[in-house]
Amino acid sequence: MIRFDIITLFPRMFDSPLQESLLKKAQERGLIEIVVHDLRDWTQDRHRTADDTAYGGGAGMVMKVGPIVKAIESIRKVPATSRAVLLTPQGKPFSQDVAGEFSSYTQLVFVCGRYEGVDERVLSFVDDEVSIGDFILSGGEIAAMVVIDAVSRLVPGVVGDEASVREDTFSNGLLKYPQYTRPPSFRDLNVPDVLMSGDHEKIRRWRRQEALKKTLQRRPDLLEKAGLSDKDATFLKSI
């Protein structure tokens, strides 16, 4: 079981996304726990101030170090089995490998940045800085939802068919092969015959080759780390 703690200035942003679909069922079954914390609960002035102007000038506000550090220290249970993570566009890229690493902890504490960012001294009190992409969001809340969803899928029992997790895009270093369902023909677009052949070995081979082909066309950079077999390499050369 993993506990996710979220430190945010806007706790209501999480009300609906965390109460739908797999995440809701996983919480009900005790496979994961998600707790949202209002950062202002750790402020000390009567205005519950969590941000201030930047030293040196400049546009925008900066989130204060004190409330964030107090929140982390108050929420974090066992440092040896937990991880404090700052969601920031300056962090390392989030990936399936990072999701797998995070899934090995019993607690993840997410700090959602806002405005112009957080006081740089906060970095001395977190273990990781993570970015979900090279673009700017209004804050770290949506990024936290993305990470929670990706990590939760790796918790045993959260996804009903665990084989689907093993075959997901990126799980084996490749993009996922094409998938089809009924009807077999739609506006002259037909399901490949091999998928209706009943020959499981042919289907497995076709899916592998299609995954390789799609990855080569769309994300060739992934092939360098995909652990390709000699057969895979030969097939790619033939394309």
Catalytic residue, chosen from 76, 168, 205, 219, is 168
- Let me know: does 215 contact 226? Beta carbons within 8 Å: yes
Q: Is 168 part of the annotated catalytic residue set?
A: yes
Q: Reduce the DSSP state of residue 162 to 3 states and report it.
A: helix
| Count of Cβ atoms closer than 10 Å to residue 40 Cβ | 15
Q: Is 67 part of the annotated catalytic residue set?
A: no
CA angle 215, 151, 125 (to 5 degrees): 115
Catalytic residue, chosen from 116, 119, 167, 232, is 116
Catalytic residue, chosen from 5, 129, 153, 210, is 153
User: Cβ neighbours of residue 212 under 8 Å, at least 6 residues apart?
Assistant: 174, 223, 228, 232, 235, 236
Q: Is 89 part of the annotated catalytic residue set?
A: yes
Which amino acid, one-letter code, is at 184?
A: P
CA dihedral sign, ordered 52, 56, 60, 66: negative
Catalytic residue, chosen from 17, 38, 48, 89, is 89
- Let me know: does 142 contact 150? Beta carbons within 8 Å: no
Residue entry with tokens 């170090």: 65
Which amino acid, one-letter code, is at 123?
A: L
Q: Which residues are catalytic?
A: 89, 116, 153, 168
